[in-house]
Amino acid sequence: MYNFNEFLKNLSHSSKIPFNVVTEDGNSLYISDLDIKNSHITSFTIMLGRVKGIISLEKQYENCTALLKYTIANKYTQLFLSKEQAVIDILENREISIDNININLPFLKNGCYVILISVNGSKYEALSIIKQIYDNEEVVSLIYNDNIIVIGQFAEVQQHIESIKESIASDLYCECYVSYGDINYDIKGIKKAYNEAAECMILGKKFDIKDHIFNYNKMLFEKIVYNVDAKIKRELLYMLKDKFDAFDSQMIVTIEQFVDCGLNISDAARKLYVHRNTLIYRLDKIKKETNFDIRDFKDASVFLIAFLIWKGNKVE
């Protein structure tokens, strides 16, 4: 993790004590490149923030465990926990001094974004990638409530988000979801932005929104659909579920792209890399199968509500 891994390596080499550090759920924080005789291993636990770690070393070094534990935990606190704790205190409505904010979140007064990241792989490895990206920059990143939070001042937030997502997906070969909201300038704004990003993450995953990047300000329609009366949802599903189930992936992508392009046939055809007439043929087929002409705004609105409900049910 970040330069914490390098610190552990230097500690092991300088002390000539080979040891391994893993989290309770099996993620490796440091594996010694020195020889460890596996037949004579002892282990002890260590708290690294909210994460329980396990240190393994040879029995002959057992008398060094207390010093190792103190040194490693203290370094972890220096590297990660002062800024992390300031963010956690804000999110959990604890008292926090102005001095604390100015020291640990100096960028807040100039405006910052709260970015929430969810991965289908190791959160710890993903966090390590983020810390490497923003090494020596005023950016705070931490694991909180099973997601990763990134807080910082980003001139082009969309570009940063795409870069983070691409780095994690390409390095860890896993699905990565990112949500975010407005820029904020105070601790109330951070709490509000986090709550909006968390809600946005739930909606984005539920409705399987493509690209897996969710902007709170562009998800009002999904929020409306999520809160549609259960009886109406059942009626819409009864009416269209079988039709949606019968559509192949090409038709599903066509629907999504046509809607994303604001029902504009020329733009959608270009994005789909098909001739305009091919797209018109597909739209005519959708009308024939469902009795909804999604070139018409009113028909498209009802159709899309049903479509999102169907997608949400599939994810569940």
Nearest to 129 by CA among 101, 92, 170, 159: 170
Q: What is the pLDDT of residues 102-155, one digit of tens each?
A: 878 888 989 999 999 999 988 989 999 999 899 888 899 999 988 999 999 998
HSE-up (13 A, CA, CB side) for residue 302: 13
- pLDDT at res. 166: 94
Q: Is pLDDT of 10 > 70? A: yes
Segment 239-262 shows an average pLDDT of 93
Q: Is pLDDT of 39 > 70? A: no
- pLDDT at res. 285: 94
91 in Cβ contact with 190 (< 8 Å): yes
β-bridge partners, 140:
151
Q: What is the pLDDT of residues 42-59, one digit of tens each?
A: 889 998 876 788 999 988
Please report the sign of the dihedral spanned by the C-alpha atoms of residue 304, residue 307, residue 309, residue 312. Answer: negative
HSE-up (13 A, CA, CB side) for residue 198: 13
Phi-psi region of 90 (alpha: psi -120 to 50; beta: other; left: phi over 0): alpha
Quick one: which H or E segment has residue 126?
helix 123-133
Q: How far is Cα 90 from Cα 160, in angstroms, rounded to an integer?
A: 24
Q: How far is Cα 73 from Cα 5, in angstroms, rounded to an integer?
A: 13
- pLDDT at res. 7: 87
- The mean of the pLDDT values for the chain is 90
Contacts of 272 (CB under 8 A, 6+ apart): 253, 254, 257, 279
DSSP at 80: I
**Residue 147's CB: how many other CB atoms inside 10 A?**
19
Which of 21-25, 49-53, 268-272 is modeled with the greatest confidence?
A: 268-272
Q: What is the pLDDT of residues 181-207, one digit of tens each?
A: 999 999 999 999 999 999 999 999 999
Segment 165-171 shows an average pLDDT of 93
Q: Is pLDDT of 4 > 80? A: no
State how beta strands 213-215 and 139-144 pair.
unpaired
Contacts of 289 (CB under 8 A, 6+ apart): 243, 246, 247
Least confident of 53-67, 70-84, 220-234, 264-278: 70-84
Q: What is the model's pTM? A: 0.70
Segment 276-303 shows an average pLDDT of 94
- pLDDT at res. 98: 84
What is the rounded radius of gyration, in angstroms, for the C-alpha atoms of the chain? 25
- pLDDT at res. 195: 96
170 in Cβ contact with 162 (< 8 Å): no
DSSP at 19: E
28 in Cβ contact with 19 (< 8 Å): no
Binning pLDDT at 50, 70 and 90, where does residue 315 land? Answer: low
State how beta strands 19-23 and 176-180 pair.
unpaired
Contacts of 88 (CB under 8 A, 6+ apart): 94, 142, 144
Starting from the edge strand earliest in sequence, which strands make up the sheet with 51-58, in order? Answer: 28-30, 19-23, 51-58, 41-48
Quick one: which H or E segment has residue 30?
strand 28-30
Segment 16-39 shows an average pLDDT of 82
Structure tokens at 237: 């599903």
Segment 259-266 shows an average pLDDT of 93
Q: Is pLDDT of 1 > 60? A: no
Nearest to 148 by CA among 94, 224, 98, 133: 133
